[in-house]
Each structure stands twice: as C-alpha cells, then as structure tokens.
Structure 1
Amino acid sequence: MTAKAPEPRPAPALPAVGPLLHELNGLRVAVLHPLDAEGRVLISHLQRIGSVVTQRWPVPPRLDADFDVVMLAIELDQRQPTTAFVASRSELSPPLIAIVGYENPSMLQLVLESGAVSVIERPLRPFGLLTQLLMARTLWRQRAAALAHIRKLEGRYATVSKLTMAKTLLIAREGLTEQEAHRKIQRLAMAGRTTVEEVAETVIATYP
C-alpha cells in the first residue's frame, strides 16, 4: 500500500486589488523631490491617479503632517538632511519609496539607510508607479500587523512573568503550593475587581 502524498498547503490569502486601488484616490503622498521638470511629471501623475500631493525640497528634518506614503529623492548632496529625516521616523511611519538616478556604493548605502520598501529609477516613468504605491501600502499594512502581534505577545509574556514571580513569592512567604498561590491571586483579583496582573504587581511590590 503506497503512502498518501501530503496535501499541498493553501497559499496565504493576498489582499484584493480592488479596495487597494480605491484607496489610492485621496492617498496622501509626500514628494521629497526638487520641483524640476522630473518632479513636476511625478506630481502630475500622482494627482492624475487621485493622490493628494505635498512637495518638499530640500529634505526636511521631519514631516509636519500625516501622510500615507513618502517618495524620497536620494541625492548624495542631501546625505546629512536625509540621515536626519530617516532618524525622525518610527516603526509605523508611512512607507518610503526611494527615487534614485544611478547606482554606486555611496548611493546604495544611502538607499539602505533610508529603509525604503521599494525603489524607482530615474528617468521617472508613469508606468510602474501605481504598482509601487500599492506594494508600499501593502507592505506597510503587513508590517503594522506584525508589530501589533509582537506587542500583544510581549504583553502576554510580561503578564506571565509577573504572575510566575508573584506565585514564587507566595510559595516562599506563605508555604503555599503553586496551585494554591495561583488560586489566591485569582481570588484577590476577583475580590478587588482587578486583574491578576495588577494583583501580581502588588504581591511583588509588597514582598519584604
């Protein structure tokens, strides 16, 4: 009798394109690019697909408004302002798309330091811009979801650690078993209409 081949795992669900395309209408885009001919072409095309564009140059120390996507021209003569701008960003800052004109070690290093989720090469062309915007927003959503999951796990771990420490202290102080210590913390939480984490913190804080 031959062994049955394992069934292939289903591919992870991908976001529907329709809602993403609809989102681009009104997408707030910060264009950190000189207002030259190329910059005007970029702004014009973004506006044509429904984005709300704000242009800044030179690179500002930080953004003074909320945006959904940042498009940043990587220029070596703007290394210091670019580094300061990147340092002002947080884990949940809007996704950044780098615009580069040529490749050399210094340019590539600056692109890597920028934390860009994608790169657009000069000369700029309308073709592919829509894809880059969709990819940037999709990657940002995935990163935000992953960070939220990590924070949730960290919170659970912190609660378990406090509870374990509080039970250990009760066992040492009152000679309880682990189950008795756990039930005592639960009773105190119910009586005080609070959480087991807060009771655990009180036990730890009041331990002599």
Structure 2
Amino acid sequence: MTMTKSGSRPTRPIRELVQCFRNLSVQLCVPPGGEADELLQHLRRMGCPASNSWPPPTDTPMGIDVVFISIRHLIEEQTPFHWNVEDPPSALIAIADYENPLMVEKILALRAQSTIAMPLRTFGVLMDVLLSVANFKRDEERRKQVMRLEEKLRFSDKIELAKVALAQEHGVSHDEAYAMLRQSAMENGVTITAVVQSIIASQD
C-alpha cells in the first residue's frame, strides 16, 4: 500500500488497479462500427478482455463483470434489453449520445452504475469501469445483507411458532420452550433451524 500526499490514508498502487482492470471481462452491447469499435479496441489495448454483441443477448453470459449498453439505440430502435434491475448480474455502464428526458429516464430505470458520453473520450474509461465495479459490488453486498436480515426475520417468526407449540404442549414458559429447542438440537447433533422446522411440520 502507498500513502496519499497528506499521509493520512493508504491508497492502492496504480499497478494493482491496472491488474484489477485486466482481470475484468467486459461485454459491449452497441451496434458495431465507429465509436463502438474504438471503445472495444481501447479496452483491449489496455488489456481488458472485451467483446461486442448487438442486439443485446437475452441473458448476460456467465463471467461478465461489466456491460456497456447504448441507450440511444435501445430507445430509437426499441431494442429489447433484458436486465434484472433488482438483482443485476454485473455492473452496468450506460452510453449516452445526447441528453433528453427519455434518455435520462431510461438510464435511471436501468440503475446504471455509471454513464459515459459520446463522442467517446478514451481518457477516463479505466476509472469509469473500476468505479462502476466498485459501486456494483457495494450494492450487491447491501442486497445480500438485506436478504440475510429478511431471512433472519422470517426464521424468528418460525422460532416463535415453535416456542408457542412447545409451551402449550409441555406447559412451560416461552423461555423454557426455547431452552428445550436448544437442548434438542444439541442432543440430536442438528441445528435449531432443523428442530424448529420439524416442530412446525408436525404442527401442520
């Protein structure tokens, strides 16, 4: 690690950033020719595995880290672009040729991590890609955290059902019922989840 000019925060050496970029697999979804070819060649010159596909594939191929999508062609040609905004498969970078409400609305609807403007300026593409991947990974971790919390809440409700069932069956308090759940799990060498599911299944 190196230090910033202020000496207060460590930053990643530029070699690590470049190596990270070269390990990324990029899929362009842009009509071939002109600036699309220029962008593709620029990515490859920097050592990034990149390919182009138009129209966009129905499903993003496995192992793709970043997708570039031409917003203008999606709008003008009404080209289908199957993108799961709730659980995207990779980072998404929107390519915008001009500014208008339709284009802004489309980019927001797709929840792109970044936008690059045309005509293409190759300077900054490296940073756009790295920042998009970083933002995507951060958002992905947040989604996973939310899913874990939701699952925890769902299982908490199941524990309460199992505790009520045991309390009624054995005439004990809810705290004692929970102690029984833990004891049963230890004696049988299984998780509390398995014990709770077994009790709920027997009640059903």
| Bin of the TM-score, shorter chain as denominator length | 0.7 to 0.9
Structure 2 residue ranges without an equivalent (≥5): 1-8
* 1:160 corresponds to: 156
Check the 8 A contact 2:29/2:70 in 1, yes or no: yes
**Structure 1 stretches of at least 4 aligned residues deviating more than 4 Å after TM superposition:** none
Query: For the residues of structure 2 that align with 1:36 and 1:159, how far apart are their CA atoms?
Result: 54
Unaligned runs of 5+ in 1: 1-12
Give the partner amino acid of 1:198. Answer: A
Task: Pick closer, same or farther for the CA change 1:64–1:138 going to 2, 3 Å.
Answer: closer
- What is the rounded CA distance, in whole Å, between the counterparts of 1:60 and 1:14 in structure 2? 40
Q: Can you list the C-alpha shifts for 1:89-138, whole angstroms capped at 9, x where unaligned?
A: 66141111000111112222222222211111110111111110011110
Q: Which residue of 2 aligns with 1:8?
A: none
CA drift of 1:178 comes to 1.9
Tell me the alpha carbon deviations over residues 18-74 of structure 1, each in whole angstroms, 9 at most, x when there is no partner: 433321113211011122121111011101111111111123322334211001111
TM superposition shift of 1:179: 2.3
> What RMSD over aligned residues (CA atoms) do the two structures have, in Å?
2.2
- Residue of structure 1 equivalent to 2:92: 96
CA contact (8 A) 1:35 1:57 kept: yes
> How many Å separate the matches in 2 of 1:65 and 1:93?
9
Q: 2:177 aligns with which of 157, 178, 181?
A: 181
Residue 99 of structure 1 aligns to a residue whose secondary structure is strand
- Matched-pair identity in %: 27
In structure 2, the partner of 1:61 is 58
- Rounded to whole Å, the distance in 1 between the matches of 2:25 and 2:97 is 24
The question of 1:30 aligning with 2:10 is answered no
Report matched runs for 1:106-145 at 5 Å: 106-145=102-141
Give the secondary-structure state (helix, strand or coil) at the position aligned to 2:67: strand
Question: SS of 1:163's equivalent?
Answer: helix
SS at match of 2:17: helix
Question: CA–CA distance in 2 between the matches of 1:14 and 1:118?
Answer: 25
Contact kept? 1:58, 1:78, Cα under 8 Å = no
